Amino acid sequence: MTNFTYSTAALEQLQKSDPEIFKALMDEEVRQSEGIELIPSENYCFPEVYALLGSVFNNKYSEGYPGRRYYGGQENTDIVENLARDRAKALFRAEYANVQPLSGSPMNQAVYFGLLQPGDTILAMDLSHGGHLTHGAPVSHMSKIFNFVRYKTEQPSGKIDFDKVRTLAQQHKPKMVLCGFSSYPRELDYASFKKIADEIGALTFADVSHIGGLIAGDALANPMDFGFDVMTTTTHKSLRGPRGGMILAKKQHGPALDKAVFPGLQGGPHMHQVAATALTMKLAATDDFKLYARNVIKNAKILATTLMEGGSQLVTGGTDNHMMVVNTVAWFNLSGDIAEKALDAAGITLNKQMIPDDPLPPLKPSGIRLGTPAATARDMGENEMKQLGGLMLRTLRAADNAATLAKLREETKAICDRFPVPGVTKDRPFDHKARSAA
């Protein structure tokens, strides 16, 4: 008898060997089950992913690539890495795939080092307008090695003015034009980015880490269909796979990208992660997953509408994808960190977030960011989005009232109790509360 996620024998052993870590694990399962997860980059992985992450593939060193390894004993690891690459290429309509990046940041670093020289110029989106740290934020090492020039979005629409992007491109002649985001709720116009890059002979790079699953599920456009040179995605966000990253590209870039990942940047790939990525590529190619991807966006639009009807000011005035950014200062007079804490107390997890050209600092910014991939993975739908939106509004209006927040937490739990976390069954052999108190 097992709960889906771990074998009973392994859990019993863990409880004996390390009761403190066992308790933290049990408590984390309770936290993830009883609260609502709205951080847009988080998700519940497919339950089978746990089987591979907790498997003997963890034990294997596999430096190199299938058929060209530096250690023996690779007959099974070659099978999983070949399957992962082939399935990723098919899913994203790409000629080349590398599934070894350990996560999102090294994946993007490998693209820069593989296709550019130190000192080259990259045109990318400004961090406070939605870009990622690895897209040249001044605090990242990448900004010291490459010369980043940043475009911004227009406010309040959030649109990208491609005349301005073209002017920057003509002026700075970047070697690479990068689009992609970690906090931008709108669809990107890949054709316009490609056109501008072609005019100056630059490479095109799309970082779709947040929306990889929505692209895989055909719910959003795929940059590879627009002739992009390279695209990266993490595998654990909307794709519902293991922590990790992958690089997709035109075939001609393959040798340079392979070398950039290994031996350029990493040693042995994490083969338990690669095996789980192979599985994820298979599950993300199903009709069920296409429905999931559409539902993520449908839920985000319902939640966005509920929040706006309740008076919230959303950056860009809505969403086209899985994510929304709320200016909490504008409506509730709460900085993002205070809003995040109040919502946490009400069982609603999301993150504080800078808004475009935020006058406030990153740890005390003007907004919050939230999204629907995890809630949708629990099969929540229209009714729950409306209920959650209402709960959020009531929480933000009562942010300094601990008693009200405690009551709201019970309401959140009541909704969550009806939607089990995938892979964390309700009839598990371990009574979490009893065990974690033990």
Site mask for ligand DSN (CB under 6 A), range 46-85, x = bound: ----------------------------------------
Residue 104 contacts ligand DSN per CB under 6 A? yes
| Residue in this structure with the two tokens 């392979």, named with its chain if needed | 258
Structure tokens at 282: 């298979």
How many Cβ atoms are within 10 Å of 2's Cβ, its own excluded?
Answer: 13
Q: Which is nearer to ligand DSN, 370 or 388 (CB)?
A: 370
Residue 130 contacts ligand DSN per CB under 6 A? no
Let me know: does 102 contact 245? Beta carbons within 8 Å. yes
Give the span between the Cα atoms of 247 and 259, in whole angstroms.
Answer: 12
Q: Give Cβ neighbours of residue 430 (< 8 Å, ≥ 6 apart).
A: 3, 8, 11, 26
61 is catalytic: yes
Q: Which is nearer to ligand DSN, 132 or 432 (CB)?
A: 132
CB of 185 to ligand DSN, least distance (A): 13
Give the binding-site size for ligand DSN (rule: CB under 6 A).
4
Residue 41 contacts ligand DSN per CB under 6 A? yes
Question: Active-site residue among 81, 207, 320, 340?
Answer: 207
Q: Which is nearer to ligand DSN, 132 or 270 (CB)?
A: 132
CB of 79 to ligand DSN, least distance (A): 30
CB of 85 to ligand DSN, least distance (A): 23
CB of 245 to ligand DSN, least distance (A): 10
231-260: contacts with ligand DSN (CB under 6 A): none
Question: Active-site residue among 77, 153, 234, 277?
Answer: 234
Give the span between the Cα atoms of 352 and 334, in whole angstroms.
Answer: 11
243 is catalytic: yes
H helices within 310-335, ranges in order? 328-332
96 is catalytic: no
Q: Give Cβ neighbours of residue 270 (< 8 Å, ≥ 6 apart).
A: 58, 102, 244
In this structure, what is the dihedral angle of CA atoms 240, 241, 246, 248, given to the nearest 10 degrees?
Answer: -60
63 is catalytic: yes
Q: Give Cβ neighbours of residue 224 (< 8 Å, ≥ 6 apart).
A: 92, 93, 94, 231, 248
135-154: contacts with ligand DSN (CB under 6 A): none
Structure tokens at 245: 């990253």
Instruction: Provide the annotated active-site residues.
Output: 61, 63, 207, 234, 237, 243
Footprint on this chain of ligand DSN (rule: CB under 6 A): 41, 104, 132, 182
